[in-house]
């Protein structure tokens, strides 16, 4: 779910953009984050995910395939970074999320049985979860489409931020704000949900556009350091430990600016955390990342994509072929040269 600090991010540190503004830019996607979005959003009216004839979920494949082509048409160079083993501190959070998903799954079935499709779909979305089959099939499709697929040693979001810090990509992409705490100089949000989005529990829709958050500008405007931003996040609560009850982002910002560190705030407030804040801080400042990756884009394996999506997972051959025709056209038009020129970093 990520750290909840959006309300303290100054408007001046954010820029609403169009996909066209990212033309020629390499973007590192937090793969788990984007896959969860596809699994949540791409569902039938009664909440069921897309499936093939063997009962295997394909919502994520549909989202990845068509959205990635859309990115490439706009000149974006996608890089997908997958989670490795999460920090031990995250184990409790993972277990709690699993329980929430199980409860949501039970409620989904209950409302579906009653014929209350609106409620059923709401809980179906909350029950979305990744498994080994979903992750492996996503990796296979990404590779068939010629895009880099990076396995992080730990948090995918930390690895994506590391790529951006090194300058190997322009920005990291995620819905979560943790990327900023991990040091990504630019965080791009809303790339997978551009367009009209239905408000939860309502029949109203809002227009969603991509946005970039600039870390340096944000820190300068707030007059804090990245370390102090991390301390604010820890006070509010992270995936590694609950925050301090009654302290939201605005209050956390005020306290950190006043006292300089979370340790001093906890002392003044006469409270404590279940985990030493220094340990959590180190996860963000010194995350487990790797330099063992390759950023090489290749010509898509068109026949392999058709075999994988259509023959193995029952996608419409007509829809897939039409999409691949768009992909070929986008690659051939890139920079008015050869189809691989856009992939030169």
- Residues 3, 39 within the same domain: yes
Indicate the DSSP class of residue 47.
S
Collapsed DSSP state (helix, strand, coil) of residue 320: helix
179 and 70 both lie in a single domain: yes
- Separation of alpha carbons 47 and 89, rounded Å: 33
Asked if residue 334 is part of any domain, the answer here is no
Q: Strand 171-173 to strand 186-189: parallel, antiparallel, or no bridges (unpaired)?
A: parallel
Q: What average pLDDT does range 270-283 have in this prediction?
A: 93
Helices (H), 223-271: 226-236, 249-259, 262-269
Q: Is residue 332 part of a domain?
A: no
Could you give the 3-state DSSP secondary structure of residue 39? helix
If you average pLDDT over residues 29-41, what whole number do you get? 92
Element (H, E) at 62: helix 59-73
Q: Among 191, 222, 253, where does a domain finish?
A: 222
User: Which residues touch 189 (CB under 8 Å, ≥6 apart)?
Assistant: 173, 174, 175, 210, 211, 212, 213
Dihedral of the CA atoms 270, 1, 199, 51 (nearest 10)? Answer: -160
- Would residue 192 count as lying in a domain? yes
3-state secondary structure of 26: strand
Query: β-strand 26-30 against 77-82: which pairing, if any?
Result: parallel
- Residue 1 tokens read as 């779910």
Distance CA 285, CA 267 (A): 23
Q: Is the pLDDT confidence value at 59 over 70?
A: yes
- Domain containing 264 equals 224-288
Q: Which CATH number fits the domain that encloses residue 158? A: 3.40.50.1010
Residue 339 has pLDDT above 50, yes or no: no
Q: Which residue has the tokens 């059923």?
A: 120
Residue 272 has pLDDT above 50, yes or no: yes
Note whether 230 and 218 are same-domain residues.
Answer: no
- Judge if 17 and 145 occupy the same domain: yes
pLDDT above 70 coverage of the chain, percent: 93
Domain count, the chain: 2
Beta strands in the chain (DSSP E): 14-16, 26-30, 77-82, 149-151, 171-173, 186-189, 195-198, 205-208, 211-214
Final residue of a domain: which of 237, 260, 288?
288
Predicted pLDDT of residue 338:
37
Question: Which of 175, 202, 222 is at the close of a domain?
Answer: 222
* 226-262: pLDDT as tens digits: 999 999 999 999 999 899 999 999 999 999 999 999 9
How is residue 109 written in tokens? 């079935």
pLDDT of residue 7: 94
Instruction: List the one residue out of 167, 204, 163, 172 whose CA is nearest residue 191.
Output: 172
Asked if 218 and 228 sit in the same domain, the reply is no
Q: What is the mean pLDDT of the chain?
A: 90
Residue 79 or residue 112, greater confidence: 79
Does residue 17 share a domain with residue 63? yes
Residue 337 confidence class, pLDDT cut points 50, 70, 90: very low
**Mean local confidence (pLDDT), 122-148:** 92
For residue 293, pLDDT over 70 is answered with: yes
Q: Are residues 236 and 212 in the same domain?
A: no
| 55 — pLDDT class (breaks 50, 70, 90) | very high
Look at the block and give the residue holding tokens 């999409």: 323
Together in a domain, 207 and 88: yes
Give a yes or no: residue 310 inside a domain: no
What confidence tier does 69 reach under pLDDT thresholds 50, 70, 90?
A: very high
Q: Is residue 213 a contact partner of residue 187, using CB atoms and an 8 Å limit? A: yes
Sorting pLDDT into bands at 50, 70 and 90, what band is 345? very low
Asked if residue 159 and residue 124 are part of one domain, the reply reads: yes
Residue 158 included in any domain: yes
Assign residue 233 the CATH number of its domain: 1.10.150.20
pLDDT at 194 over 80: no
Question: Residue 204: which pLDDT band, with cuts at 50, 70 and 90?
Answer: low
Quote the pLDDT of residue 117.
82
Q: What is the widest separation between alpha-carbon atoms in the chain?
A: 65
| Average pLDDT over every residue of 23-32 | 96
pLDDT level of residue 203 (50, 70, 90 thresholds): low
324 found inside a domain: no
Residues 187 and 232 grouped into a single domain: no
pLDDT for res 124: 80
Q: Is 211 exposed, middle or buried (0-12, 13-18, 19+ CB in 10 A)?
A: middle
- Taking the C-alpha atoms of residue 22 and residue 20, their distance in angstroms, rounded to an integer, is 5
* Highest mean pLDDT, choosing among 84-88, 109-113, 197-201: 84-88
Residues 61 and 176 reside in one and the same domain: yes
Mean pLDDT of 21-37: 94
Asked if 269 and 138 sit in the same domain, the reply is no
**Per-residue confidence (pLDDT) for residue 254, from 0 to 100:** 97
Measured distance CA(253)–CA(249) in Å, rounded = 6
Q: What values do phi and psi take at 58, rounded to 5? A: -130, 5
On the question of pLDDT at 200 being above 50, the answer is yes
Q: Let me know if residue 229 belongs to a domain.
A: yes
**Range from 86-95, 98-107, 121-130, 281-290 that averages highest in pLDDT:** 281-290
On whether residue 267 sits in a domain, the answer given is: yes
Place of tokens 């199980």: 102
Residue 199 has a pLDDT of: 53
- The Cα 110–Cα 104 span in angstroms is 10
């Amino acid at each position: 779910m990520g750290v909840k600090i959006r309300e303290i991010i100054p408007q001046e540190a954010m820029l609403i953009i169009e996909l066209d503004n990212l033309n020629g830019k390499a973007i590192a996607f937090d793969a788990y984050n984007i896959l969860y979005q596809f699994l949540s959003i791409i569902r039938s009216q009664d909440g069921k995910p897309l499936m093939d004839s063997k009962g295997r979920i394909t919502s994520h494949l549909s989202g990845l395939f068509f959205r990635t082509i859309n990115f490439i048409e706009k000149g974006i160079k996608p890089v997908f970074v997958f989670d490795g083993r999460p920090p031990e501190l995250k184990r409790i959070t993972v277990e709690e999320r699993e329980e929430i998903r199980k409860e949501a799954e039970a409620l989904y079935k209950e409302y579906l049985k009653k014929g209350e499709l609106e409620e059923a779909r709401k809980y179906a979305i909350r029950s979305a979860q990744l498994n080994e089959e979903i992750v492996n099939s996503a990796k296979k499709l990404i590779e068939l489409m010629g895009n880099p697929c990076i396995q992080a040693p730990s948090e995918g979001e930390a690895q994506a931020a590391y790529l951006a810090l090194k300058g190997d990509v322009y920005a990291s992409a995620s819905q979560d704000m943790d990327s900023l705490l991990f040091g990504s100089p630019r965080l791009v949000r809303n790339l997978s949900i551009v367009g009209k989005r239905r408000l939860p529990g309502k029949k109203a829709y809002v227009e969603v556009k991509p946005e970039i958050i600039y870390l340096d500008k944000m820190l300068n405007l707030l007059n804090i350091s990245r370390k102090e931003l991390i301390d604010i996040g820890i006070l509010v609560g992270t995936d590694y430990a609950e925050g301090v009850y009654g302290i939201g982002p605005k209050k956390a910002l005020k306290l950190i600016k006043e006292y300089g560190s979370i340790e001093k705030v906890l002392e003044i407030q006469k409270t404590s955390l279940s985990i030493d804040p220094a340990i959590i801080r180190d996860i963000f400042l010194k995350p487990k990342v790797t330099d063992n990756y390759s950023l090489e884009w290749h010509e898509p394996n068109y026949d392999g994509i058709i075999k994988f999506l259509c023959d193995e997972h029952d996608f419409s051959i007509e829809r897939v072929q039409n999409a691949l025709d768009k992909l070929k056209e986008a690659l051939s038009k890139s920079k008015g040269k050869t189809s691989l020129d856009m992939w030169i970093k």
